[in-house]
Amino acid sequence: MAKAKQSNTSRDKILSAATHLFLNSHDAGKVSIEDIAVKAKVSPTTIYNNFGGRKALVHGVVEKIIDTSLIQAKDIMARPLPFPAKIQLILSNKNDMAGKMPEEILKKLVHMDDDVTALIQEIYQQEIQPMWQKLIADGKAEGYVDPSLSEEAVFIYLKVVRDGFNANAALFEPAKEKINLMMELSRIMMYGFFKKDACLIPDIKSGHAKTG
């Protein structure tokens, strides 16, 4: 039991050290097993004993990053909150690793190892996609999401909004201190900025959008 606990502790230290070095290195591909061993304060042999090699270590880092984000998202999903509140929390949620987003390190790891893309896709299909499907279904059931909208369209919209938050995090910092501004931004995010419903399907004959 003590040996298993020590092994898990070593594994966690190695994953944390590798994540830190990959994230903060200009070229993550040049981070060596020896570099990681020094940062984790373990021997290179310990890394090989826990992971078998560099590829498995990289995959372990990917899985840990995504697992952390999933735990946060599932916690939000389980809360007794209405759909808009859950959406706002999920879209603005950050995995605080040196102040940078998980997406940044995942992009680096994809460039390091072609198999990382397949691993991320597998996790997406098994974990992330079902979570979003349930969230969108709940939104429709609660009357917040237009039932005529396809799941694909809603998912793409939410992803675009979240990517916008992530790419412009500094832009939203001042707004956090202005409750009225945050309420306005939240309303625009959820309902758009039109005063009334508008049909934006182009009129093919006239070349103009139909409204009303």
**pLDDT single digits (tens) 195-206:** 655 554 455 454
What single-letter amino acid sits at 5? K
Q: What percent of the chain has pLDDT over 70?
A: 71
Rounded average pLDDT over 165-169? 66
What is residue 92's predicted lDDT score, i.e. its pLDDT?
62
What is residue 177's predicted lDDT score, i.e. its pLDDT?
67
Most confident of 51-55, 64-68, 188-192: 51-55
Rounded average pLDDT over 52-68? 90
Calpha distance 37→45 (Å, rounded): 9
What is residue 21's predicted lDDT score, i.e. its pLDDT?
93
* Mean model confidence pLDDT for the chain: 78
- Model confidence, pTM: 0.64
Lookup result for tokens 């209405």: 82
Of 1-15, 49-63, 74-88, the poorest mean pLDDT is in 1-15
Higher pLDDT, 197 or 24: 24
Taking 50 as the threshold, does the pLDDT of residue 164 lie above it? Answer: yes
Burial of 128 (0-12, 13-18, 19+ CB in 10 A): middle
Of 135-144, 163-172, 199-208, the poorest mean pLDDT is in 199-208
What single-letter amino acid sits at 9? T
Calpha distance 186→191 (Å, rounded): 8
What single-letter amino acid sits at 120? I
Confidence of residue 3 (pLDDT cuts 50, 70, 90): very low
61 within 8 A of 109, measured Cβ to Cβ: yes
